[in-house]
Amino acid sequence: MKLNKIFFDLDLNWINNINVNLSAVERRTLTLVKRRSVKKEYQASWLLKAITLIDLTTLSGDDTFGKVDRLCKKALNPIANNILSKLEINEDVVKVGAVCVYHHLVSQAKNQLKGQLPIAAVSTGFPAGLSSFSTRKKEVVDSIKSGANEIDIVINRGFVIQNNWKKLYDEVKSFKLAANKTKIKAILGVGDLETMRNVAKASLVCMMAGADFIKTSTGKESINANLNNSLVMLRMIREFHEFSGKKIGFKPAGGISTAKSVLEFLILVMEELGEDWLNPNLLRIGASSLLIDIERQLYHHAFGRYATHDKLAIA
């Protein structure tokens, strides 16, 4: 099997035979949280690692050029210099994984970042993915022309509900062909997929169709990333890797807003996929408010107390 292969044939027999034991999934994630605890300097190290995996995101209806400018400055300097100095860490070392914005704001982010960080654009009719196919495909091309280094595509969740795996496969493959060498992250919208079995099947189809990452959610659904749906997706990544030799990335997004919660996701990825996945090439965390809580925890580790609101910049 060639490791540089992009597309794999749609294997309906494999897809239709996927089953998920929900009780076992819940038992696994519950015991994980109870058994694993990271404290003191080890916690600080894991939180610094988490920062480098964040796709720092703004996806609001009131996004402006000024808001994107502030986001980019925070992405380049995510932790206050006095905290880094106390931790004896060079301020140039810690940056987020990427900045994630709507596709019409890509050029503004590019002007601010000047190539220092990747830019991810949400595309293909985000968040519902129900625009016309030609419009969605054009968004991919336009975002790349504007300077996006990565494209977060939205799948048509209706294809999953209808078990129309051929249409889902063809759609994702078409978006990957349009993106060419640009990395694409396929957003499943797990909260809309009804069952964990559908989450597993959709994960597999997207990987077969050339997705470089599979992503839990847009952040706009009623259910976003949690340990249960993430475990199902990670197991499919592992199974696909065993079959193909190809490493697919994972991006949990939506609802990960505290340092405690992000540590749980990192531990889950570490235990399910191993240390190879704990880098920005294979793991991203879609978040907007997470960074400020990580900074608060690092301040506490550095100075022995929590910062008052005036001590930290708003993330």
Residue 1: per-residue pLDDT: 42
**Residues with catalytic roles:** 152, 215, 251
Binned at pLDDT 50, 70 and 90, residue 314 comes out as: low
Mean pLDDT of 72-83: 95
In whole angstroms, how far apart are CA 69 and each of 73, 111, 257? 6, 9, 22
Q: What is the pLDDT of residues 216-263, one digit of tens each?
A: 999 999 999 999 999 999 999 999 999 999 999 999 999 999 999 999
Residue 126: per-residue pLDDT: 95
- The whole-angstrom distance between residue 186's C-alpha and the CA centroid of its chain comes to 10
- Across 16-25, 64-73, 84-93, least confident range: 84-93
CA distance 312 to 165: 48
Domains of the chain, start order? 12-302 (3.20.20.70)
In the chain, which ranges are continuous DSSP H helix?
Answer: 12-16, 22-35, 40-51, 65-76, 81-86, 106-113, 133-146, 157-161, 165-179, 196-208, 227-244, 259-273, 290-303
Task: Please check whether residue 287 is in contact with residue 251, taking contact to mean a CB–CB distance below 8 angstroms.
Answer: no
Task: Please check whether residue 122 is in contact with residue 100, taking contact to mean a CB–CB distance below 8 angstroms.
Answer: yes
Please work out, in degrees rounded to the nearest 5, the angle formed at the alpha carbon of residue 184 by the alpha carbons of 227 and 152: 65
Q: What is the pLDDT of residues 189-202, one digit of tens each?
A: 999 999 999 999 99
Predicted structure pTM score: 0.95
Encoding tokens for residue 90?
A: 């060079």
